[in-house]
A and B are shown apart, each in its own frame.
Chain A
Amino acid sequence: MSANETKQGSKPLKIREKKQFRFPPGYGDNKIVLLVRDPWWMFTYWEIKREKEEEVRNAIQSAGDTPEKSVLRVYDITGVNFNGKNANSFFDIELKGLASNWYISVSPDRSWIVDIGIVTKKGNFHVLARSNAVKTPRFGMSDQLDAEWMVAEEDYWKMFGLSGGFGVGKGSLEARELIQRRLEEQITSGGISSGASFFRKPAERKFWMWVNCELIVYGGTEPDATLTVQGKKINLRPDGTFSLRFALPDGKQVIPVEATSHDGIDIRRVTPIVTRKTE
């Protein structure tokens, strides 16, 4: 079926039939993007153009050098206007296989940039792409005191402890640990987050079984008769039949069924008695 036929023939238009979409493996970019996950971890993903990589490799060769390995070079650029050479420090992560993203372990409260590039035999580094700059959050209290809002050290810790829900009189190191523990307690949506009671998986149950009993009481009479079950009037189907379903608890059920003819002259009564006992 051609696309045109689909469009004319189907109402409403099925959007999907326009094109079978797959996420592209790449967008033809040459770039690397850096995200902060938490004070200790960053995430980076990248895409390198083949031409760019060839160009860099050729440059390395023509300089009489040999490409040795692909690396992520992670620069600590805290307090620095980074120009590629003036980082406080850096470390390399060697890339193997077909990785296109990486989690990088770092320190809190520092600024970072990551290059993806090639290290040569002679130890030179050639950049393929440079990331955006990010800052990991500090995990702990600020050193900055606010002159306008001064408070005695002791009172500061008291407020801190009350805020964190772990009482008063804790020092800085201990307080940090307590906060960390608190963050792992899962006190959002019972360990979940927004809307989560809908998406949450039930707790895994081990082997289980359950059994229940129901009772079906059914029958028929003249379609214009009046019928009661346990004294309650029951509507008949057009052909005079009926069917009732009951949860059946343990014990004895006496179920009088009574039909009265249209003119009130004939009466029929049947009384099933059912006992359920569960062992």
Chain B
Amino acid sequence: MPKGYLAIVLHAHLPYVRHPDFDDFLEEDWLFEAITETYIPLIKVFEGLERDKVKYRLTISVSPTLMSMLMDPHLQGKYLKHLDSLIELSAKEIERTKWDGPFNQLAHMYHSNFLEARHLFADKYKMNLLNAFKHFQDKGGLEVITCCATHGFLPLMEVERKIAVRAQVKTGVDLYEKVFGKKPLGIWLPECGYNPGDDEIVKKEGVKYFFVDTHGILFGTPRPRYGVFSPYLCKSGAAAFGRDTESSKNVWSAVEGYPGDYYYREFYRDIGFDLDYDYIRPYINADGTRINTGIKYYRITGNTNHKEAYQPDAARDKAAFHAGNFMFNREKQIEYLHGQMGDRLPIIVSPYDAELFGHWWYEGPQWIDFLIRKIAYDQKNIELTTPGDYLKLYKNYQVLTPSFSSWGYKGYSEVWLEGSNDWLYRHLHKMVERMVEAAREHRHAKGLLLRALNQMARELLLAQSSDWAFIMKTGSHVQYAVERMREHSEHFMELYDEVKEGSLDEEYIKACEDKFNIFPDIDYSMYSA
């Protein structure tokens, strides 16, 4: 019998980026990098755990935009081409670095990683990595949950709130059901953005739990009895789990976090930027822009520009050490909590962005692997769990209304509502208003009208992605984000006019459908409720 539980939650998300008109599109690389550096390495960890019969529980939310991209044949084909080009490049690197021992060893490492990724992606999981997540869920290791349709930030959906939020939630639940063959137990509210009352919508869609940031629970009403170390039931009956601060800091913190260790791989030194232009030209973006290839030869080394060669074995030792440290800290935490919770066992909920592991923190997947194995074999105080499992432990939980909150910088909506992006909401709100109007005007639409209304719903959802506002704030790829917002608005407004005037243009509707083909089963009538 453990003294408490640990729930690691990985939130996997990328915005929907798919440009079939182009052979090579800069922003599509986000997906390709994440597949090679995060999703496949994590899948390899789960395979190893299955092979060695290690018992574990881990929660992963896969956003519906990411699910859609992973299932899309066009992107799957492009990824394979991308991977083949990395295999070719890494083979060349083996030759080029022949006289440089440490780099040569790394070139070999990348080459064999890429070959293995190809085998997993193309042969084992038949080009669709969702097959892998489904497999590990069915085997009892993973609890896969869903997210809102396009990662829309719910607190800022002020106009027609209930309908707009429900469309985001319902679309995410429906797609999950189609892919995984059952209702999701939980949902990741984008950016942990919670507005009191949204839980009713979650509950109505048959979802049992969601997550909020620490202050969402601590500032909840009435006073929480167990801090963030127990879930709470909202009045709607949906359960809210609060993020633990200490374990978040261990990983996230720029100051104290593990990923900054000097032995870990340096993210910013990529051969896409470092090598001679003529040599690397065939492997960077088609327009000649240097990009990350994923082949990186240096370790962080220190906080100057001087970098030394990456040593995989030393980094691996660090990952093991940090996993041990993380486990030790959680045991200590559980020890403090023990006896503070009456007859209940505490749960520590540690959510992270999945793409942090592998893409940003190269050794992250190894760290997870070590952590799971250490928890299984090296101690008895804590056990891994999932929110779904924990909710089965007790008959009742304290009823509480969490506070409006998010996990963004400063804890509320500022990241997505500030000088660079506040102009978005005027248009997003208008689109919701017009969507509701059109859906109510044309109930039970058929044929071309049905297609136009469904496409309007797709364009609206895509425009709502929190990513566009976020990108505008961070200042990198801004032009792309603005362009996407512009394009979805254009399609939406044009279709709205056509629907309103009864002048449907099939060619235009088809062009929009082909370009933004997400959610094939969408049903616009969710906006007429």
Contacts and interface: CB of A to CB of B under 8 A. Distances in A.
Interface of A: 7, 12-13, 15, 18-19, 21, 23, 27, 33-39, 41, 43, 45, 47, 101, 132, 134, 137-142, 144-146, 148-151, 155-156, 158-160, 162-166, 179, 182-203, 205, 208, 210, 212, 214, 230, 244-249, 253
Interface size class of B (residues with CB under 8 A): 35 or more
Given A43-B422, A187-B248, A199 B470 contact: yes
A187 B507 contact: no
A188 B476 contact: no
Nearest to B402: A137
B253 A187 contact: yes
Contacts of B87: none
B407 A193 contact: yes
B253 A185 contact: yes
Given A190-B252, A193-B407, A246-B98, A145 B223 contact: yes
A199 B191 contact: no
A22 B369 CA distance: 50
Contact of A193 (B34, B155, B224, B415): B415
A13 B353 contact: no
Nearest to A20: B490
6 contacts: A33-B158, A38-B413, A141-B219, A163-B244, A190-B252, A194-B466
Contacts of A132: 158-159
Contacts, number: 260
Contacts of A198: 14, 30, 33-34, 355, 359
B97 interface: yes
Nearest to A19: B494
Nearest to B490: A21
A161 to B, nearest CB: 8
A164 B222 contact: no
Interface in B333-377: 333, 336-337, 340, 353, 355-356, 359-360
Given A146-B222, A155-B340, A198-B355, 9 more contacts: A33-B159, A38-B413, A146-B223, A148-B398, A163-B227, A194-B151, A194-B467, A214-B279, A246-B99
B111 interface: no
Given A138-B403, A194-B466, A165 B249 contact: yes
Closest 4 CB pairs of A and B: A165-B245, A163-B227, A38-B412, A21-B490
Interface stretch (B73-81, B210-218, B436-444): B210-218
A269 to B, nearest CB: 20
Nearest to A191: B254
Contact of B353 (A37, A47, A196): A196
B100 A195 contact: no
Contact of A195 (B15, B245, B337, B514): B15
A101 B470 contact: no
Given A15-B511, A198-B14, A151 B225 contact: yes
A163 B252 contact: no
A195 B409 contact: no
B158 A34 contact: yes
Contacts of B257: 190
A197 B276 CA distance: 25
B503 interface: no
B408 interface: yes
B294 interface: no
B471 interface: yes
Contacts of B103: 247
Contacts of A212: 274
B430 interface: yes
B222 A162 contact: no
Contact of B474 (A47, A149, A183, A196): A196
Contacts of A138: 219, 403
B499 interface: no
Interface string B411-426: 1111101000011011
Interface in B1-40: 11, 13-15, 21, 30, 33-34
Contacts of A146: 222-223, 225, 398-400
A134 B414 CA distance: 16
A23 B427 contact: yes
A137 B404 contact: yes
Contacts of B225: 146, 149-151, 156, 159
A144 B99 CA distance: 71
